Amino acid sequence: MEKKIKIFDTTLRDGEQAPGASLSDQEKLEVAQQLVRLGVDIIEAGFPISSPGDFDSVRQIARQVKGATICGLARSLNKDIEAAAMALKPAKRKRIHVFLATSKIHMKYKLKKAESEILKIAEAAVKYAGKFTDDIQFSPEDASRTEKDFLFRVIEKVIKAGATTVNIPDTVGFAQPDEFGRLIHDICNKVSNINKAIIAVHCHNDLGLAVANSLAAIKNGAGQIECTINGIGERAGNAALEEIVLSLITRKDHFKNMHCGIKTKEIYKTSRLVSKLTGFVVAPNKAIVGGNAFRHESGIHQDGVLKKRQTYEIISPETVGFYGEGLVMGKHSGRHALSNRLERLGFKLNKKQLDIAFSRFKDLADKKKEVFEEDLIAIVEEQSKEFEQVWSLEALEFFGGINVQPKATVKLKNKKAVFSATSEGDGPVDACYKAIEKIIKLKAGLLDYSIQAVTRGKDALGEVNVKLLINKEEISGRGASTDIIEASAKAYLNAVNRVLFKKEKSKKVRL
């Protein structure tokens, strides 16, 4: 009989804790809905007590997202558990995830508690959570650095109190695969009531071993893996969902009689969505979802792939929904052809969204000789579903060169009128951003700027990602165009519009 490995996705909780990854309520909802399409079992929607915004987003996901268990995080405090319970109340299937540190270093310096106190607090927290749901997960934080005998006692105590899942976190990415696997093995064999709960693991990537440690845990008895899309998260991130899932599928000989419910053809689309909304660009050499994951430059490799793909490809691109740079359409292609192709790529657009996509496709087809599937994906992703644009780019002119002071003139449009400003800068992008600032009257510091080609060729669509510091908050933005200055302006405005939308929404909430 096959054992199902549950996939617990914490992109919206731990993933969003990565600096600069802040998402709006609507963005979180969009990700959650895609995670259901991907087939994850549990979605950790957030940490409700941490802020009113997090509470609202968890509640919204609990109310609108069906098809997965919705989970909320809580410290071992009654007020945290109550907040999680309230936020999760509309969910058809809900889980409260309670955590408490158990390592000596955490107990001594962070909690200032003795082992006996930790045992009582953990037991009481799980019992209190049981008043609101029968699906309770408990995490002994920093478990991989906790003394084993004490860890076993904690686990036994919380299971007896009602915990149905016990999560073993490698909180600081300290463990090595052999010792982490042995820890899970020992828990399976030395905790007397472990058969009454599922063992989960939550591994961080500080030493680059999050996926390896997670897989070692599966081999030794874990039945649930906590992970994130693209491996995003605190510090160096978490175990990457896509890497774990493809390891299970590709190496069935190694992970015998194990399976998960992930629909792999949704992986690439989910990766792109999370990358777009967080502004975290996926590295070209990233396993499974990186741009170079299925490209071969070496002559020997190319020859082998042409003769038989499996010589150098252990995963087919189609398995994860990765579409190559196939030529799809030209400027004479119609709306129906575009709709069909986008549907094949996994996008179902309403009439308004299709009209916008078709208009942008026609503009792009006039600029490019060849339009690729990646271009179409970028066109659709550029449509902002999460908020109404406050400012849009109406026109842009720039002037520069060697030994010439760069200058840019920008025209922006809002609901009231079109505004224009001209500014000089250290380069055309800097001049463009300074001109935008003159119009919107909002000072922003540029923390990060990156550009990558969506497809090949000198007329490739350029995708710009920026990270801005506005009012002490890091905000990401993305824009795409065949003109990199235009793409840069769009990315900047995308970030600015997110800030203005959040500001306007908070005013309405106060009213």
3-state helix, strand, coil in the chain (%, to 5): 45, 20, 35
Both tokens of 100, joined, read 């408490």
Q: Any bridge partners for residue 464, and if so which?
A: 451, 479
> Of 172-181, 256-265, 316-325, 345-354, which gets the smallest average pLDDT?
316-325
What type of residue sits at position 87? A
Q: What is the dihedral of CA 483, 20, 231, 214, to 10 degrees?
A: 170
List the one residue out of 330, 329, 325 whose CA is nearest residue 366: 330
Summarised one tens digit per residue, pLDDT across range 283-337 is 889 999 987 777 644 444 444 444 555 565 788 888 998 765 555 677 777 888 8
DSSP string, 265-286: GGHHHHHHHHHHHH--PPPTT-
Q: What is the mean pLDDT of residues 230-250?
A: 97
The beta-strand segments (E) located in 346-403 are: 371-372, 392-401
User: Between these two residues, 100 and 1, which has the higher pLDDT value?
Assistant: 100
Distance of CA 407 to the CA centre of its chain: 37
In the chain, the percentage of residues whose pLDDT exceeds 90 is 64
Residue 381 has pLDDT above 80, yes or no: no
Q: What is the mean pLDDT of residues 362-372?
A: 79
Report in angstroms the alpha-carbon separations of 8 from 79, 210, 252, 479.
Answer: 24, 15, 21, 31
Show the DSSP H helices in 101-201 as ranges: 104-106, 115-129, 148-161, 177-190
Measured from the Cβ of residue 470, the count of other Cβ atoms closer than 10 Å reads 17
- Give the mean pLDDT of the chain: 89
DSSP, collapsed to helix, strand or coil, labels residue 295 as: coil
Which pLDDT value is given to residue 301? 41
| 8 Å CB contact between 375 and 334 | no
Spatial distance between the Cα atoms of 61 and 71, rounded to a whole number of angstroms: 10
Summarised one tens digit per residue, pLDDT across range 34-64 is 999 999 999 999 999 999 989 999 999 999 9
How many degrees, rounded to 5, is the angle at CA 270 between CA 269 and CA 272? 65
Measured from the Cβ of residue 366, the count of other Cβ atoms closer than 10 Å reads 9
| 8 Å CB contact between 479 and 494 | yes
Summarised one tens digit per residue, pLDDT across range 465-478 is 898 998 888 888 88
**Strand pairing class (392-401; 404-413):** antiparallel
Spatial distance between the Cα atoms of 170 and 149, rounded to a whole number of angstroms: 17
Spatial distance between the Cα atoms of 194 and 216, rounded to a whole number of angstroms: 18
Residue 387 has pLDDT above 70, yes or no: no
Phi, psi at residue 393, to the nearest 5°? -80, 120
- Name the residue with tokens 């915004």: 53
What length does the chain have?
Answer: 511
Burial 198-234 (b: 16+ CB within 10 A, else e): bbbbbbbbbeebbbbbbbbbbebbbbbbbbbbbbbbb
Query: pLDDT band at residue 239, thresholds of 50, 70 and 90?
Result: very high
How many degrees, rounded to 5, is the angle at CA 39 between CA 36 and CA 40? 85
**CB contact set of 360 (below 8 Å; sequence gap of 6+):** 379, 382
List the one residue out of 13, 11, 15, 21 whose CA is nearest residue 277: 21
Q: What is the mean pLDDT of residues 173-177?
A: 98
List the one residue out of 132, 122, 182, 189 whose CA is nearest residue 157: 122
Measured from the Cβ of residue 190, the count of other Cβ atoms closer than 10 Å reads 14
Which pLDDT value is given to residue 452? 84
Q: Any bridge partners for residue 89, and if so which?
A: none
Q: What predicted TM-score, i.e. pTM, was given to this entire model?
A: 0.82
Taking the CA atoms of 145, 223, 163 and 65 in sequence, report the sign of the dihedral they define. Answer: positive
Spatial distance between the Cα atoms of 223 and 244, rounded to a whole number of angstroms: 13
